[in-house]
Amino acid sequence: MDEDKLDSFNVPYYSPSYEEEQDIVEREGSFTIKLMKAFSLDAMDKQEKDVRAKVGKYAKGIRSFTESMISNQFGDEVIDKLYDKFTHIVVEDLAKKSPKATSIILVLTKIVG
């Protein structure tokens, strides 16, 4: 893999905390918060018993929105090997812990006037 391409690859991602989301809505001032709730979900399919199949589904989901960015930067030839390695790493990690995803639900009311 080209070292310069790797060094220049940047996909910024930021997930605000519960408190940050609340602060953003309050500072913006156009809405009141009627309900705000955070909850954790299993990131993996609990119905699927086969770990490899479970991770395969998860990896396909990740691949669905990252493949075009990665192939544009590094070329199509790295894609299959990269996602195979990703799947292998997730299988190993899943043996240690079950990943959680936190979601925040906001119900807002527009302030009129």
pLDDT in tens, 17-56: 999 999 999 999 999 999 999 998 877 767 777 878 888 8
Count of beta carbons in the 10 Å neighbourhood of residue 104: 15
Domain of residue 24 covers: 1-43+100-113
Same domain? For 88 and 49 the reply is yes
Q: Report yes or no: 4 and 81 within 8 Å, Cβ to Cβ.
A: no
Predicted pLDDT of residue 85: 94
Same domain? For 58 and 90 the reply is yes
Count of beta carbons in the 10 Å neighbourhood of residue 69: 11
In whole angstroms, what separates CA 111 from the centre of its chain? 32
Predicted pLDDT of residue 104: 94
Query: What tokens were used for 57?
Result: 């589904």
Tell me: pLDDT of 93 over 80.
yes
Same domain? For 88 and 53 the reply is yes
Same domain? For 23 and 63 the reply is no
Number of domains in the chain: 2
Average pLDDT estimate for 62-72: 94
Same domain? For 31 and 49 the reply is no
Per DSSP, helices labelled H in the chain are 3-8, 18-28, 51-74, 79-94
CA dist., res. 65 & res. 74, Å (int): 16
Same domain? For 81 and 104 the reply is no
